[in-house]
Amino acid sequence: MPLPDFRESAGPLPCAGGKGNSIPEATVARLPIYHRVLTAMAEQGIITVSSEELATACGVTSAKLRKDLSYLGSYGTRGVGYEVEFLGYQIARELGLTSPWGVVVVGVGNLGRALVSYRGFASRGFRILGLFDSHPDVVGSTVAVVDRSFTVRPVEELAEVVADQGAHIGVITTPADAAQDIAERMVKAGLHSIVNFAPVVLNVPTDVEVRKVDLAVELQVLAFHEQRRKNPAGSVVTELDPQRSVSGDRKAMNA
């Protein structure tokens, strides 16, 4: 039974280098939210903010926020709060958003287009270096973004662009069945960081980090909660009816 040996590089690398300077992954995952909200506040002209206010705006508790920020350093002022712009900059620096990262996007369907036209990318230090697709209908067409426009190139040119322009991050927005091939091309081209939007688990070498985004997970988690809201007991038919046999369940399965 030759199972396809696909296996996602399990991931998150021991977050930082050494001892006490490592930032917990849970914190890293929240920093982008803080950063976005701080940016929005700065644009509104807000100068200072307390941990309580910022936490509320980010949908977390102030204790959690202060703990998170404490890993970055002491950027607040007791009795006063945080300077919005300054704190935003520190978070950006910590996340590595102050120097630009070259990004290549493979797969120019609706999702690829949605990503490319997302203003938040450019403003956060991500620079799209190329758009690729394997479908002849799409290759050669033009995708207009805010300030630029891209001509879609054939996937064959991926390695060339990565090498010549020094891309760092690959984004996969292809259908599921194309994703593994694209991942391999990205690895061969020398990329070590991949964001995978395709609904498959990718098999890559361990020195490559894949982050997976599943557009449907949250919907499914919500379905679970909706179901629990209606039937708080859970899947507990089993518990209430010990008579119900496994074979009974199999019938339901085929119904």
Q: Which single residue is written with the structure tokens 């980010």?
A: 58
Rounded-to-integer distance, Cα 242 and Cα 79, Å: 60
- Judged by beta carbon distances under 5 to 8 A according to partner kind, the member of a second copy, DNA, none in contact with residue 80 is DNA
Q: Minimum distance from CB of 156 to a second copy (Å)? A: 25
Residue 223 in contact with a second copy, rule: CB under 8 A? yes
Question: Which of the residues 27 through 66 are near DNA (CB under 7 A)?
Answer: 27, 50-52, 61-64, 66
- 103 with 169: CB under 8 angstroms? yes
Q: Which is nearer to a second copy, 147 or 255 (CB)?
A: 255
Residue 213 in contact with a second copy, rule: CB under 8 A? yes
Residue 74 in contact with DNA, rule: CB under 7 A? yes
Q: Minimum distance from CB of 253 to DNA (Å)? A: 16
Among the listed residues 32, 81, 154, 199, the single contact to DNA using CB under 7 A: 81
Q: Which is nearer to a second copy, 136 or 232 (CB)?
A: 232
Of 132-140, 148-156, 158-166, 187-195, the window that binds a second copy (rule: CB under 8 A) is: 187-195
Residue 59 in contact with a second copy, rule: CB under 8 A? yes
Rounded-to-integer distance, Cα 223 and Cα 53, Å: 32
Rounded-to-integer distance, Cα 92 and Cα 125, Å: 9
Rounded-to-integer distance, Cα 233 and Cα 38, Å: 41
Residue 97 identity (one-letter amino acid): L
Q: What DSSP character marks residue 156?
A: G
Residue 54 CB-density burial (10 A; 0-12 exposed, 13-18 middle, 19+ buried):
buried
Site residues for DNA per CB under 7 A: 24-27, 50-52, 61-64, 66-67, 69-70, 74-82
